Amino acid sequence: MPRHVDKKIIGFDMDGVLVDNCPLKVAIAGKMGYNIKLADAPSEIIKNILKPEDLKVLQSALYHDIKISLGAKLMPNVSDLLRKIKSKNTPYYLISRRSDPPIAIKLLCARGLWPKYFNEANAFFVVEPEEKNTKAKELGVTHYVDDETKILNVLADVPNRFLFDHLNVFPEAGHYTKVSSHKELAKFFL
Ligand SMILES: [Mg+2]
């Protein structure tokens, strides 16, 4: 498609999309006495397994403990997709609900995504799910990828929503497109 008609503006969630925390969650939950499988680790599943107070402990370890947080890996082929998006000059953004941005940035640095692909100008940290919609609208995001249906449901102003489900644990859903890899996303984004 010629560049002048390519109006895509892409938005990414961080955890569960750029970053794979699932193995870490299994390990942390294991230490807390929960014998969960990888397929139980996505946010919208694990929250139904762990007691609320234990979920808080797990989230605190994952997102606020620098040592543990830095153990997260990237999703396969994410750097490759970002490199291609960048080379096409398609605008893209990170909109994350991480409440400790310095730790998020350290992780992205350690995994080679910051400042190569994300920096202060294209990375935004918000609090509430609805704020993701507000920020996406403000940035003119046309395509947004998240691993939680709860978030996609509130992104009313984003015309193209993608559910990133790398473990294939969610059923197909009506108002968004399910993808299981960054290679699959490339078909929509490049
Ligand atoms: Mg997420």
Query: How confident is the model over 22-54, as pLDDT tens digits?
Result: 999 999 999 999 999 999 999 999 999 999 999
Q: What percent of the chain has pLDDT over 70?
A: 97
φ/ψ bin of 140: left (φ > 0), alpha (ψ from -120 to 50), beta (otherwise) = left
Find the 15 Cα to ligand 1 centroid distance in Å: 4
Predicted confidence at residue 6, as pLDDT, reads: 63
Task: Report yes or no on whether pTM surpasses 0.85.
Answer: yes
pLDDT digits (tens, 9 = 90+) for 86-142: 999 999 999 999 999 999 999 999 999 999 999 999 999 999 999 999 999 999 999
Centroid of ligand 1 to alpha carbon of 35 (angstroms) = 22
The alpha carbon of 98 and the centre of ligand 1 are apart by a number of angstroms equal to: 9
Q: Determine how many CB atoms are found less than 10 A away from the CB of residue 190.
A: 14
- Of the listed ranges 1-10, 23-32, 35-44, 70-79, the least confidently predicted one is 1-10
Q: Is the pLDDT of residue 149 over 50?
A: yes
Distance 43 CA to ligand 1 centre (A): 7
How remote is the CA of residue 91 from the centroid of ligand 1, in Å? 20
Mean pLDDT of all residues in 71-79: 98
Q: Residues spanned by CATH 3.40.50.1000 within the chain?
A: 3-20+73-189
pLDDT band, residue 1 (cuts 50/70/90): very low
The yes/no answer on whether domain 3-20+73-189 falls in CATH 1.10.3720.10 is no
pLDDT tier, 175 (very low <50, low <70, confident <90, very high otherwise): confident
Predicted local confidence at residue 5, as pLDDT: 55
